[in-house]
Structure 1
């Protein structure tokens, strides 16, 4: 109350901005997307979002990801390697390989992911997870299989959301990322990001870390210039050289399982329920 009898309102308080910090080391954990598949280098091998993100942060990258890795693999093999360098920041992309297997177990996946995140945060690492998009909107498949896979992805995302809520980790929602469903975002196989897609990931991951106070000395460019451009003939070559052999190799596990989840699709638990699938373990 003032001398004139008029009460002045107190201006609303704003939360303090996060303290700034520098990412000197960046760990990249996960599966084939984390490896960089989809963004081929002219001299051979893969680049991916990891080096692009590290360059933007001015960090040294330690990529411990492995093609085909599941969350249990990340916990058992990749996590100790990442902890050894005590990274300032870490990005994890994993879980999709779990959705394609008959022993899909959301409870076990939640335990694995929780341990990964809490172990990294215990050494001072800022962790960014990924919430997955609808793969069926990019990779065409029969409607029944699309519904079954969508249910699996929803349950995987429920695991990720629960761990984010429990641990306070940052996360990137691929479903809401601008351009996520554009064809130019995806490589020839429609399963992995293209060079542009990896650049978009690097930019989005940087934004997540900046939101947590990380300093970003340089921007991430979305101009594709370093990767190998893929034309129509490359699509045909991929189908003959990679696609068909991959299908034959995985047929013993993936094809029978795909038929199984199509038949069981109506019995899958609702989205967000983390109970394991009612299938026999191999």
Structure 2
């Protein structure tokens, strides 16, 4: 019997950023892989995730390599970096995720997906700047929820308030889980897979081997490396984000902020409807 094969796709979250081990990143996917099967059975694990990846990167670069491996399990967690770009288009994001999920499911792989908190909340940005990013992340999460159901994915909810509020789960950068957070993600995925008979090994421990970052360490990161991190990823977004923030303030003053939420909801509905329409056979 061949060992269970698990391939992880995505961005820095899945690459393991925030969970350093021996001068490299480990992360939740590696922790999960170790508990998918008994030691004597073995697990073939390949982490193809790359920091900074967007849905287009996963579709064009990571997916072909994953399909060649013909895995039993495929995790696809991506989308936050899309929300940080001026090119953000929920319809395009939905189409790419649908193609990625569909290709994996067609090979018979079990999908693992997750919805994520918005980066504005994690960084503690002012409301007018945070709300547009939150709206984008909610849109991505809504698409992920719908497509996860369509393809029978094992889905993990990581956008809840308690996950965001517990700073012991996060690394000093406040955007990536620390060791404790990565272990919790791995343990929660393991529990969901075990309930479906897809994980027969021991669950990953939730107890970290390293201490959580102190508040002073977090503040130091934000004052030094954090500024550069945000600048590198938001260079093309910043002008648009300022425009979005100004629009946010105008709607707030007029008492019409609900229109922005409604517009985002309609965009998600249209994106999912477009996928359904594309699946319909053409009339004779």
TM-score range, shorter chain: 0.7 to 0.9
Tell me if structure 1 keeps the 8 A contact 2:84–2:233: no
> Do structure 1's residue 257 and structure 2's residue 240 form an aligned pair?
yes
- Which residues of structure 2 form unaligned runs of 5+? 38-42, 249-256, 272-284
Indicate which of 32, 46, 58 corresponds to 1:53: 32
- Name the counterpart of 1:37: 17
Cα distance in structure 1, aligned partners of 2:173 and 2:237: 17
Cα distance in structure 1, aligned partners of 2:45 and 2:198: 15
Cα distance in structure 2, aligned partners of 1:177 and 1:237: 25
1:125-140 equivalence runs, <5 A: 125-140=109-124
Tell me if structure 2 keeps the 8 A contact 1:110–1:159: yes
User: Displacement of 1:233 after TM fit?
Assistant: 5.9
Alpha-carbon RMSD: 2.5
TM-score, normalised to structure 1's length? 0.81
Once the two structures are superposed, residues 121-159 of structure 1 have per-residue CA deviations (whole angstroms, 9 ceiling, x without a partner) of 111210011112344443211011121111111111121
Secondary structure of 2:156's counterpart equals strand
How many residues get paired? 254
- Name the counterpart of 1:25: 5
Structure with max Cα Rg: 1
Secondary structure of 1:259's counterpart equals helix
Once the two structures are superposed, residues 52-78 of structure 1 have per-residue CA deviations (whole angstroms, 9 ceiling, x without a partner) of 000011322100001100011101100
> Do structure 1's residue 119 and structure 2's residue 103 form an aligned pair?
yes
User: Displacement of 1:249 after TM fit?
Assistant: 3.2
- Between Structure 1 and Structure 2, the one with more helix by share is 2
Tell me if structure 2 keeps the 8 A contact 1:23–1:88: no
TM-score, normalised to structure 2's length? 0.81
- Name the counterpart of 1:9: none
Cα distance in structure 2, aligned partners of 1:143 and 1:65: 31
> Do structure 1's residue 83 and structure 2's residue 67 form an aligned pair?
yes
Q: Which has the larger displacement, 32-41 or 246-255?
A: 246-255
1:71-220 equivalence runs, <5 A: 71-176=55-160, 179-220=163-204
